[in-house]
Amino acid sequence: MEIWINPRCSKCRSAVSLLDAEGASYTVRRYLEDVPTPDEIRAVLDRLGLEPWDITRTGEAVAKELGIGDWPHKAAERDRWIGALATEPALIQRPIITADDGTAVVARSEEAVREALGRTE
């Protein structure tokens, strides 16, 4: 199991604390420093069953600078969105947990973290 985190994020810290409390085995990826490639983002999106606009933090200053709020949510624009996430990783919603069964969850709640834990048993 791997968790993509920003250590300054309270949701990320809560998720890591819960994983630790449950004795989970996991790897931490500080995705702002170890930036995911476009292919890694595509793979995580496939595991999540989501589109890039579903995991984009549109409230970030850089999102406003890029005008992402006006970008179409269409398959033809998917690579544009993924490129933005790879270039500006602060736009990626966090934390994201990739489970051992090949799935993933955006783990912003205790329930989502527990869902990921359930997929590793």
Q: Which of the residues 1, 6, 7, 9 is marked catalytic?
A: 9
- 12 annotated active-site: no
Residue 82 identity: I
Contact 29, 3 (CB under 8 A): yes
Hey, which residues are catalytic here?
9
